[in-house]
Amino acid sequence: MYILKQYEMGDIMDKLVVKGGCKLKGEVNISSAKNSVLPIIAASILSDSKCIIDNAPMLEDVFVISDVLSSIGTKINIDKDNEKIIIDSSDVIDKEPDSELVRKMRASFLIMGSMLAKFGRFKISLPGGCNIGTRPIDLHLKGLTCLGAEINVAHGIVEAKATKLVGGKIYLDFPSVGATENILIAASLADGETIIENAAAEPEIADLANFLKKMGAEIEGEGTGTIKIVGVKSLKGITYKPIFDRIEAGTFMIAAAITKSKIKINGINEEHLKPVFAKLTEMGVIMEVDNNGITIDGNAELRPVDIKTMPYPGFPTDMQAQMMSLLSCIKGTSMITETVFENRFMHVSELKRMGAEIKIDGRNAVIKGVERLTGADVKATDLRAGAALILAGLAADGVTTISDLYHIDRGYVCIEKKFKKLSADIERIKE
């Protein structure tokens, strides 16, 4: 019985109606990081007993990967009221996971490393690309091959087998987050030492490494470009609380700036958001850090800045669309360069429907700030683009209606409830 069907997910026809011009006030609590919980759930397959994830974000992507694990025999109990996920993989079986689910969400691919480490083989449908890019997996497969896997890709299926996983040295041509995670997971139970060079350094990688180390894995260097793993014989079940979602936190920071409001955001780790702090400070936003969050005041004449997205610790690509909404409302010209994904400007055409003046030239978008955006009917084209449209709607004159909310529901827990609590005029309506 798949979890997904047990949960009333946002109806595909839901829309958000946002009335612009409201000042935000009060406090918002940030949820745990989607991009930590997904690889952690995938890695829990390796444990020989129950894993419990506390403070888990109740998001569609979390339900989908839980369903993927259910389709190979893992017992998963999602306790929505207590935001807890209990995972028992003691009866997991060596079979191909449900291909419809795998194609539904790319991060399902993170179970490759676990399946290879647990069973010495896997067979899985190639993930679809998505709106923001082709999203190949060559680096994932290169890394697993270095650990001794024989991999065959044909007819849209990836098959791999390894009589034994043996540690090795892997150089990633690009510091891929997913590839680093898959290799980290597989190497935890490989024989001997694995070194990942040019590894991704995102905070979610360190969070996954901490989860694995608590289970008994031997890992060092996580959060840097070089990670060393010495394989162990087995990993035990644990209870774990993931880090806060830095992208959700950054989204609310920009909400304060774009509505010229002062709000408190609880659950921010300044270390994880340095480039966003730096850029908002450059623009004139005032931020005060306290022991578990920040007070942010966007109530000032803000200055335009240029942004270039880069792998961590550079400016996060997952904050690019939200920053574009803000820069669209600031007098002056700015430029955003998207270096991580090849097609991550789909929000531009939607922002232009709201009066934004943006010109795309390859990987660059030149933004000429306008006095005020105007409300319009717009579509979320991907997760962060959807968030960017909410931010634009909060600042626009008039009413903005946002459809295709399933994109947003994948990565933000009850986003409209959190904004309503901050006094935004926002409603989810069922068509």
395-414: contacts with ligand EPZ (CB under 6 A): 411
Task: Assign 266 to helix, strand or coil.
Answer: strand
Question: Residues 177, 258, 302, 329: which binds ligand EPZ (CB under 6 A)?
Answer: 177
**Cβ distance to ligand EPZ smaller for residue 310 or 399:** 310
Quick note: the x/- pattern for ligand EPZ over 13-52, rule CB under 6 A, is ----------------------x--x--------------
**Cβ distance to ligand EPZ smaller for residue 139 or 422:** 139
Sequence letter at residue 362? G
Question: Residues 31, 70, 261, 317: which binds ligand EPZ (CB under 6 A)?
Answer: 317
Tokens standing for residue 39: 């690889």
* Shortest Cβ 399–ligand EPZ spacing (Å): 26
| CB-CB contact of 118 with 46 (8 Å) | yes
In terms of Cα–Cα distance, which of 7, 9, 8 is closest to 410?
A: 9
Residue span binding ligand EPZ (CB under 6 A) among the ranges 47-55, 115-123, 136-144, 323-331: 136-144
Question: Residues 118, 140, 264, 407: which binds ligand EPZ (CB under 6 A)?
Answer: 140
Question: Residues 137, 144, 219, 257: which binds ligand EPZ (CB under 6 A)?
Answer: 137
Question: Residues 133, 304, 314, 398: which binds ligand EPZ (CB under 6 A)?
Answer: 133
* Shortest Cβ 276–ligand EPZ spacing (Å): 14
Q: Is 178 in the site for ligand EPZ (CB under 6 A)?
A: yes
Buried b or exposed e, range 127-146, using 16+ CB within 10 angstroms: beeeebeeeebebbbbbbeb
- Other Cβ atoms within 10 Å of 291 Cβ, number: 4
Residue span binding ligand EPZ (CB under 6 A) among the ranges 171-179, 224-232, 279-287, 412-420: 171-179
List, by residue number, the catalytic residues: 130
**Cβ distance to ligand EPZ smaller for residue 136 or 156:** 136
- Other Cβ atoms within 10 Å of 152 Cβ, number: 11
Tokens standing for residue 114: 């676990």
CA distance 351 to 380: 11
* Shortest Cβ 56–ligand EPZ spacing (Å): 15
97-116: contacts with ligand EPZ (CB under 6 A): 107
Q: Is 176 in the site for ligand EPZ (CB under 6 A)?
A: yes
DSSP 43-66: HGGGBSS-EEETT----HHHHHHH
Kindly determine how many residues on this chain lie close enough to bind ligand EPZ according to the rule CB under 6 A. 23
**Cβ distance to ligand EPZ smaller for residue 102 or 376:** 102
86 forms beta bridges with: 52, 77
Q: What is the 3-state secondary structure (H, E, C) of 293-345?
A: EEEEECCCCCCCCCEEECCCCCECHHHHHHHHHHHCCCCCEEEEEECCCCCCC
CA distance 420 to 59: 19
Quick note: the x/- pattern for ligand EPZ over 189-208, rule CB under 6 A, is -----------x--------
Residue span binding ligand EPZ (CB under 6 A) among the ranges 95-103, 172-180, 290-298, 397-405: 172-180
Indicate the DSSP class of residue 109. G
In terms of Cα–Cα distance, which of 381, 423, 371 is closest to 406?
A: 381
* Shortest Cβ 343–ligand EPZ spacing (Å): 9
Q: What is the 3-state secondary structure (H, E, C) of 335-402?
A: EEEECCCCCCCCHHHHHHHCCCEEEEECCEEEEECCCCCECCEEECCCHHHHHHHHHHHHHCECEEEE
Question: Residues 138, 220, 288, 357: which binds ligand EPZ (CB under 6 A)?
Answer: 138
For ligand EPZ, the nearest residue by Cβ is: 178
Query: Which residue ranges make up the site for ligand EPZ (CB under 6 A)?
Result: 35, 38, 107, 133, 135-140, 174, 176-179, 200, 317-318, 340-341, 383-384, 411
